[in-house]
Structure 1
Amino acid sequence: MLAGCGADEPETTAAGGPITVKATDSSCEVARTTVDAGTSVFAITNGGQKVTEFYVYAPGDRVMAEVENIAPGLSRNLHVELPAGSYETACKPGMIGKGIRGQLTVSGSAAPLTDDAALLAATESYQRYVKSQTAALETKTTEFVKLVKDGDVAGAKAMFPIARTYWERIEPVAEIFGDLDPRIDGREEVTEEGLKFGGFHRIEKDLWVTGSVKDSGPIADQLLTDVKEIVQKANAEKLSPLQLANGAKALLDEVASGKITGEEDRYSHTDLWDFNANIDGSKAAIASLRPVLEERDAALVKTLDTEFANVDAALGKHRDGDGWKLHNTLTQADLKELSDAINALAEPISKVAAVVAKQA
């Protein structure tokens, strides 16, 4: 329904210009495998038949940057700030598996973007937001787990989308830490990658498909353990300003790849809770960057304000009390209106990283 959330214009932010990446269903050709420390721009073109993703990993599959939902025939740019070290690049045709990996060496030194006082203030503001959301995530997941272990199916169903709201708001940060994200939020297809199907969506299936959680206690316990680990790691993480910019876009990609389609919460159909949470998280990242964006590109800020308001208006039509209508009650016309609003927001938000990466 969303064609990769639009294509980016060519950038020349990094020394030597963008690093081209030619992705197909069976290859991932990265033009340069050595780069200088600082900000790099990868220009990814999908020449395959499958939707793809591109990642830059630090050791331990720690995600430094990613761009998802690149539809066949489209191109996307990814800005990433990298200190000296050894990394891996990866294309993921079909958006599954470990991807087609390659080595990337970063050498030398460069002043971090946070040497700019305004960008440092932006990251500190966003990290306060992450801290507030992770605290609520741990609290609500604890309540959810107790309801599951108590066998309270109705109570657990009611708490499921509420607990997930706090997860979905900070998902780009949560995705940094290797296998923790698929353990907490992986859908049933994770078994194709050699992982165990657990976390929120396994319990979701128990609640809505089998209607019984009598065997779900150990899964719920592991979910809470993993959430507590994410909370600790996320609060300790020092983010780059580009991670805020990329995260704002990644949350729209999350909407595109799972929420609009109904694929994310396929058993409960509570996708609009997640949709709204993704938009909240994207707004929070942009809000933290707002002083920098207003100084560097005030017209872009006005456009973002307009398009965020349009998304809110389109989504607001599907309010149901304190929550949201179920995805399977929406018509194709409803979904198209939401899709069009997200596409319109995705285009200007894709420009934020380039603005952030510019030297003041």
Structure 2
Amino acid sequence: MQPLSRWISVSALALMALNAPAQAAVPADALVGPIAEYKLYVLDNLEQLVAHTREFTQAIEQGNLDKAQALYAPTRVYYERIEPIAEMFADLDASIDAREDDYEHGVKDPDFTGFHRLEYGLFKAQSTQGLAPYAKGLMQDVDDLDQRVQGLTFPPSTVVGGAAALMEEVAATKVSGEEDRYSRSDLWDFQANVDGAKEIFELFKPLAAEEDAGFVKRVQGNFDDVEAILADYRVDPQDPKKGFVSYDKVSDADRRALTGPVNVLAEDLSTLRGLLGLN
């Protein structure tokens, strides 16, 4: 059950959406339900992100390398699912999820923090030594993100556009293997991005179907194709919690095979906002 404060926040969101100018092809009040449901989805994932990040960072502070390594990928899942919203806070997104490429001095840059700085220490240096300050900083940033999102009004165009943005990110950084270059846990992030994009699509699917039923059927099929490909790389198909094989085990040919379906899905989803009149 959701805390009362979260339902109140969603109710306020609904009222704001009802009072917003009706510029969409679909009626403004038709957007209230999907947006409210999506906010609950984001809040649920944030709650999990906070809890998992706490366990992850505590393992680092306690010097438990094996546990920290095991928790890295499953913790990031909750962030990757909700990136369209997390990225609205550019300062936090940079401190939580930036990669070393974003900094002039790479891993030695004092501004390089967050998950990927910890990933470098845990999987490249194979040590928790010196990581405690970064772990504490990550926990503070995740708590900050959680607090900021509580009262946030979700712009419909940002939410709907987020489905394509997630799949475009998969094509740009996940398939290439640059996202989790030390942990090789790219497929975890890959699946999380697909989960987040699919959640948006499912929530707006009834409205999209009223505009173009063929589009909805095509996108649904594309999602099925991508998820079927990912399923082949699960450690245990019967237990999704066990995650995926190391990305090192995915051949270059298989990576190229992933690119096509992902790009097709991203291209189709990029038209969803226009279909609903939200451009």
Task: Name the TM-score, length of structure 2 as normaliser.
Answer: 0.85
CA contact (8 A) 1:203 1:216 kept: yes
Report the alpha carbon displacement of residue 295 of structure 1 after superposing the two structures with TM.
1.6
Tell me the alpha carbon deviations over residues 281-309 of structure 1, each in whole angstroms, 9 at most, x when there is no partner.
00011112122112222111111110000
Q: Does residue 148 in structure 1 map to residue 60 in structure 2?
A: yes
Structure-2 residue corresponding to 1:336: 256
Structure-1 residue corresponding to 2:204: 289
Cα distance between partner residues in 2 of 1:353 and 1:235: 24
Report the alpha carbon displacement of residue 115 of structure 1 after superposing the two structures with TM.
6.2
Q: CA 1:236 to 1:358, structure 2 compared with 1: closer, same or farther past 3 Å?
A: closer
CA contact (8 A) 2:52 2:75 kept: yes
Tell me the alpha carbon deviations over residues 83-102 of structure 1, each in whole angstroms, 9 at most, x when there is no partner.
xxxxxxxxxxxxxxxxxxxx
The equivalent position to 1:178 in structure 2, one of 90, 93, 100, is 90
Report the alpha carbon displacement of residue 206 of structure 1 after superposing the two structures with TM.
0.5
Percentage of pairs with the same residue: 36
CA contact (8 A) 1:147 1:153 kept: yes
Report the alpha carbon displacement of residue 195 of structure 1 after superposing the two structures with TM.
7.1
The equivalent position to 1:164 in structure 2, one of 68, 76, 79, is 76
Structure-2 residue corresponding to 1:90: none
Structure-2 residue corresponding to 1:263: 178
CA contact (8 A) 1:122 1:289 kept: yes
The equivalent position to 1:118 in structure 2, one of 18, 30, 51, is 30
Tell me the alpha carbon deviations over residues 35-79 of structure 1, each in whole angstroms, 9 at most, x when there is no partner.
xxxxxxxxxxxxxxxxxxxxxxxxxxxxxxxxxxxxxxxxxxxxx
Tell me the alpha carbon deviations over residues 302-353 of structure 1, each in whole angstroms, 9 at most, x when there is no partner.
1111000000011111111321111111111211121111022122211101
Cα distance between partner residues in 1 of 2:55 and 2:277: 41
Aligned-residue Cα RMSD (Å) equals 1.9
Q: What residue ranges of structure 1 are gaps of 5+ in the alignment?
A: 1-108
Q: How many residues align?
A: 251
Q: Does residue 199 in structure 1 map to residue 111 in structure 2?
A: no
Identify the range of structure 1 (189-198 vs 166-175) with the bigger mean alpha-carbon deviation.
189-198
Q: Does residue 210 in structure 1 map to residue 130 in structure 2?
A: no
Q: Does residue 313 in structure 1 map to residue 228 in structure 2?
A: yes
CA contact (8 A) 1:170 1:281 kept: yes
Structure-2 residue corresponding to 1:272: 187
Cα distance between partner residues in 2 of 1:187 and 1:178: 14
Cα distance between partner residues in 1 of 2:102 and 2:111: 7
Report the alpha carbon displacement of residue 189 of structure 1 after superposing the two structures with TM.
2.1
Report the alpha carbon displacement of residue 110 of structure 1 after superposing the two structures with TM.
4.2
The equivalent position to 1:228 in structure 2, one of 143, 162, 165, is 143
CA contact (8 A) 1:242 1:356 kept: no
Cα distance between partner residues in 2 of 1:189 and 1:336: 23
The equivalent position to 2:100 in structure 1, one of 188, 205, 211, is 188
Which letter maps to 2:250? Answer: L
Report the alpha carbon displacement of residue 249 of structure 1 after superposing the two structures with TM.
0.5
Which letter maps to 1:205? Answer: Y
SS in structure 2 of the partner of residue 319 of structure 1:
coil
Structure-1 residue corresponding to 2:167: 252
Which letter maps to 2:181? Answer: R
Cα distance between partner residues in 2 of 1:195 and 1:218: 11
Report the alpha carbon displacement of residue 230 of structure 1 after superposing the two structures with TM.
0.9
Task: Name the TM-score, length of structure 1 as normaliser.
Answer: 0.67
Q: Does residue 323 in structure 1 map to residue 243 in structure 2?
A: yes
